[in-house]
Structure 1
Amino acid sequence: MTWDDFVNEIAQPAFLPWELLLLRLAGAVLLCGAIGFERESRDRAAGLRTHMLIGLAAALYSLLMLELVSRHDEFPDMVRSDPLRIIEAVTGGVAFLAAGMIVFSQGKVRGLTTGASMWLAAAIGVSTGIGLWWVALMATALALIIIRLMMVAEKKAFSDDQDDN
């Protein structure tokens, strides 16, 4: 391999401009970071960094899928293009991580909300990766509302039950 080959490999243009790639990756990190921050503030095992990395990875896989689909004509006989496989792979991988967060101990199930938020972070990452910003923004807002409002409602409901005793 010559130096020119190396430079040509590195300088090969992507389907999308690098500024858009960076924006989508950063968007996934920020939106998933908001959910991760909420989990971190509740002292959960999967917090800020975990959610940010999940969103970043999901966005990256989505961008790679877009790039591969754009290059499909270069390899018509060698590559079968099925974008849904990327989403399935991201979902399966994150489901494996999320399942590890769920623990049954002392008759109680713990970690379900954190596991679900990790799964959602992947979906938000995929959304930003493919450029569905409104979907990603709405999902993030709804997640934060659900996590916060349901926590307040649960505390109120359980404290009312204890007051009745």
Structure 2
Amino acid sequence: MVMTGEFILRLFVAAILGSVVGLDREYRAKEAGYRTHFLVSLGSALMMIISQYGFIDVVSGHLDQIRYDPGRVAAQVVTGIGFIGAGTIILQRHIVRGLTTAAGIWATSGIGLAIGAGMYWLGLAATVLTLIGLEVMGFFFKSVSMKSSLVEFSTTKKETLSALTKLFNSKDYVVVS
């Protein structure tokens, strides 16, 4: 059986790796920063540890009578994090905001689950790949990504609206409303 010191190490590593991802989001002034990612990764690691080792006393000696699936608690973490992630997504005037932050929270939860399971290298690799996805890919694909801007104006003249619509369409802009 794994010792308590190993469990504490797993929690510590998960919290640190979650914080690293959260620092990126904090630097970009996004909805969820290092504290949120710290807690998500730490909590996910804790749930994984409990899932794997928390019920051994209950099950020992009764394996023929009790069905034991350590993946059940971990699977519910994914569902719960989906709920938290949905709270970071905002639909604001036909523009979705917070989707990348929600995905980052979900990935951070996965990192915590991996570390909680004792898969240190997998958690570290997932952290590096998450940071690559957040930083490096944005740098390389900046010209490919679609930019959106919100322009708001009011007019009482229908001709002005027609002229602006014609101008936007001639420049291949998409007018949402």
Q: TM-score range by the shorter chain?
A: 0.7 to 0.9
What is the aligned counterpart of 2:75 among 55, 69, 88? 88
**Identity rate of aligned residues, in percent?**
34
Whole-angstrom CA distance in 2 between matches of 1:158 and 1:95: 25
2:37 matched to which residue of 1? Answer: 51
Whole-angstrom CA distance in 2 between matches of 1:124 and 1:50: 14
1:18 matched to which residue of 2? Answer: 4
Runs of 4+ in 1 over 6 A off after TM superposition: none
1:123 matched to which residue of 2? Answer: 110
Rg bigger for which structure? 2
Kindly provide the amino acid, as one letter, of the partner of residue 43 in structure 2.
A
Kindly provide the amino acid, as one letter, of the partner of residue 26 in structure 2.
E
The count of aligned residue pairs is 146
SS in structure 1 of the partner of residue 60 of structure 2: helix
1:133 matched to which residue of 2? Answer: 120
SS in structure 1 of the partner of residue 54 of structure 2: helix
Kindly provide the amino acid, as one letter, of the partner of residue 123 in structure 1.
G
Residues 29-68 of structure 1: matches in 2 within 5 Å? 29-68=15-54
Kindly provide the amino acid, as one letter, of the partner of residue 110 in structure 1.
R
Offset at residue 93 of structure 1 (A): 0.6
Whole-angstrom CA distance in 1 between matches of 2:12 and 2:128: 17
Q: Which consecutive unaligned segments of at least 5 residues does structure 1 have?
A: 1-14, 160-164
2:164 matched to which residue of 1? Answer: none
1:98 matched to which residue of 2? Answer: 85
Offset at residue 80 of structure 1 (A): 3.1
Offset at residue 75 of structure 1 (A): 5.0
Q: Which consecutive unaligned segments of at least 5 residues does structure 2 have?
A: 147-170, 172-177
